[in-house]
Amino acid sequence: MGLLDSLKAGLKRSREAINEIFYMGGEVDEDFWEDLEDTLVMGDMGAEVAMRVTDDLREQAARENLTRADQLRDALARRLAAEFPAAGRDPFTDLPSCVLFVGINGAGKTTTVGKLAGRAREAGIPCVIGGADTFRAAAIEQLEVWGQRASVDVITRDRGADPASVCYDVVEEAERRGSRLVLIDTAGRLHTSSDLMRELAKVVNVTRKRCQSMPVSVVLVIDATTGQNGLNQAHEFNDALELDGLIVTKLDGTAKGGIALAISSQLSLPIYRIGVGEALDDLQTFDALDFCRALVGEGM
Annotated binding site for GTP: 103-110, 185-189, 249-252
Among 119, 83, 45, residue whose Cα is nearest residue 275? 119
- How far is 60 from 64, CA to CA, in rounded Å? 6
- How far is 117 from 10, CA to CA, in rounded Å? 22
- How far is 220 from 271, CA to CA, in rounded Å? 10
Question: Which 8-state DSSP code applies to residue 134?
Answer: -
Among 124, 126, 142, residue whose Cα is nearest residue 134? 142
Binding site residues, as ranges? 103-110, 185-189, 249-252
Helices (H), 82-137: 109-122
Contact 150, 117 (CB under 8 A): yes
Handedness of CA 278, 280, 285, 291 (dihedral sign): negative
C-alpha pair distances (Å), 185 with each of 81, 130, 135, 163, 300:
30, 6, 12, 10, 38
Contact 219, 107 (CB under 8 A): no
- Asked whether the bond before 163 is cis by omega within 30 degrees of 0, the reply is no
C-alpha pair distances (Å), 278 with each of 6, 233, 294:
11, 23, 19
Contact 7, 276 (CB under 8 A): yes
